Amino acid sequence: MSLTESTPEAAARAASLSARGLAVLPFSARNDALTAMHDALMANKEAILAANARDMARATSASESGQLSQSVLKRLDLSRPGKYQDMLSGILDVRRLDDPIGKVDLRSRLDDGLELERVSCPIGVLLIIFEARPEVIANIAALAIKSGNAAILKGGKESTDSFETIARVIGAAVDGTQVPNAAIQLVKTRDVIDQLLGLDRYIDLVIPRGGNELVRYVKDHTKIPVLGHADGLCSVYLHADADKDMAVKVVVDSKCDYPAACNAAETLLVHESVLTTVLPAVARALFAKGVSLRCDDTAKAALKKALPPTSAALVQDSTEEDYNTEFLDLIMAVKTVPAVTHTNGDEAASKSSGEDASLDLAIAHISSHGSKHTDCIVTTSSEAAEKFMSSVDAAGVYWNASTRFADGMRYGFGTEVGISTNKIHSRGPVGLEGLTIYKYKIKGHGQTAGEYGDGAGKRKYKHEKLAV
């Protein structure tokens, strides 16, 4: 690993060359590099936290003057309980995973002596551009090395001291291993993002880690494929039969476990029939955590009747824009889902039809306002849950579980490079498997395509599936 001040093109070219060597490095050698990284970061914890404290002091001042958001400030802080240990554990988790390179997931016999295989391989060169989140350096370096990819990392100015200190520690550790020096590069030079985004000749994938503005900028200024998401507009829907205690647990964790995270819930959809039974309990639990609710007229009226006047300040009027906003804070938008009914002469069928219609409205709201990240339904009905999970177009769809589960480590994937809402390649938490692609290998004995066909004397393909 190197902290480079070379030109962006030179850095990308060097990374591309190093990627070839890293791709064929033995599994044990890649794991040895991860061990060295982990041990070095553990031994240099005090120096790294001291550097992070300097960044935090500048960032706090910027936040107080309105130049930096509170969500960025929280993401920058490596001293937050458990965060440094999570970074170290993430490296060990990746080290414990199987080798993602060289996995055969398809084999077939095209003809006698002519066999086809599909084999996993590295993507090539990754460009990671991130704001705050100094732990990203360790996460990405571990994932890139394990998956055989070279990586170029460009950090934001708010994490300068943390960035440089971690880079030096990891760099010294990796230099003592078989990993090529230029395989992991950390770009220190400012104002080079546009140049890096133009290097599609050398860079194969861009992964932006930051807020909406950064992600959208990257997507609008490069021809290189981009993996990630611009927004984390996650919703929790309380269906007509939602269990009150379960709803409280799921909603509070989804919103309050870490409000600045992209998988924190921003919108609470509430079926009209539980506005006076379930919503007040959920609201009280949220208020206890300091959450304010931006409600539509129906939900606000229900809460005013059910809760004491002292709660009034935490119940505010919503605007349409609130349902399109990633608050990243202790704020939640609340929307009522009407209890739609149909008259068909059959009371039981009418109730079922009405609930289905209401469910359709909740799904439609998520489709119109969500970001395809993670959405949840709280219900005791398996039928409603399955319809919700099948119909909602998101990377994660949950039944009676917090949206905060949308995480590579919680999925058992190890640390991740981010959450993808893409429709191609990887979707959801992107770990090792998301950083590999595949190639097709054919092993033959001099066969040619011209030998095969429908004419006289032509050979026929067998296309026999073989065990992998």
Number of domains in the chain: 2
Q: Are residues 178 and 325 in the same domain?
A: no
> Where is average pLDDT lowest: 1-10, 95-104, 214-223?
1-10
Residue 335 belongs to some domain of the structure: yes
Q: Kindly state whether residues 362 and 221 are assigned to the same domain.
A: no
Q: How confident is the model at residue 227 (pLDDT cuts 50, 70, 90)?
A: confident
Instruction: State which residues form the domain around 370.
Output: 234-411
Residues 216 and 358 reside in one and the same domain: no
Confidence of residue 4 (pLDDT cuts 50, 70, 90): low
Q: Please say whether the beta carbons of 23 and 146 come within 8 A.
A: no
Asked if residue 451 is part of any domain, the answer here is no
pLDDT value of position 5: 61
Examine the domain organization and report whether 338 and 425 are in the same domain: no
The two tokens of residue 276 are: 């006076």
Task: Compute CA distances 112 → 441, 445, 452, 455, whole Å.
Answer: 16, 9, 13, 19
C-alpha to C-alpha distance for 351 and 356, rounded to whole angstroms = 9
Region 319-335: mean pLDDT is: 96
Q: Which two tokens stand for residue 307?
A: 């809760």
pTM, two decimals, is 0.78
Q: Both 202 and 333 in a single domain? A: no
Instruction: Report residue 345's pLDDT band, with 50, 70 and 90 as the boundaries.
Output: very low
Partnered with residue 218 across adjacent β-strands are none
- Residue 447 lies inside a defined structural domain of this protein: no
Does residue 445 form part of some domain? no
Can you give the pLDDT at residue 343? 45
pLDDT at position 352 is 44
For residue 377, pLDDT beyond 60: yes
More confident residue, 7 or 362: 362
Enumerate residues 6+ apart whose C-beta is below 8 A from 10: none
d(CA 287, CA 429): 30
HSE value, Cβ hemisphere, 13 Å, CA-based, for 260:
14
Q: What's the CATH number where 239 sits?
A: 3.40.309.10
Does residue 384 share a domain with residue 349?
yes
Instruction: Clarify whether residues 267 and 360 are in a common domain.
Output: yes
Question: 371 in a domain, yes or no?
Answer: yes
Per the prediction, the chain carries an average pLDDT of 90
The alpha carbon torsion through 270, 275, 279, 284 (nearest 10 deg) reads 140
Can you give the pLDDT at residue 355? 62
Please tell me the predicted confidence (pLDDT) of residue 359. 96
460 part of a folded domain: no
Same domain, 81 and 151: yes
In this structure, the answer to whether residues 48 and 181 fall within a common structural domain is yes
Higher pLDDT, 130 or 441: 441
Q: What is the pLDDT of residues 166-217, one digit of tens each?
A: 989 998 999 999 999 899 998 877 689 999 999 999 999 999 887 778 888 9
Residue 110 lies in a domain: yes
| pLDDT at site 368 | 95
Which 3 state secondary structure label does DSSP give 212? helix
For residue 28, CA distances in Å to 19, 25, 96, 104, 146 come to: 17, 8, 11, 19, 10
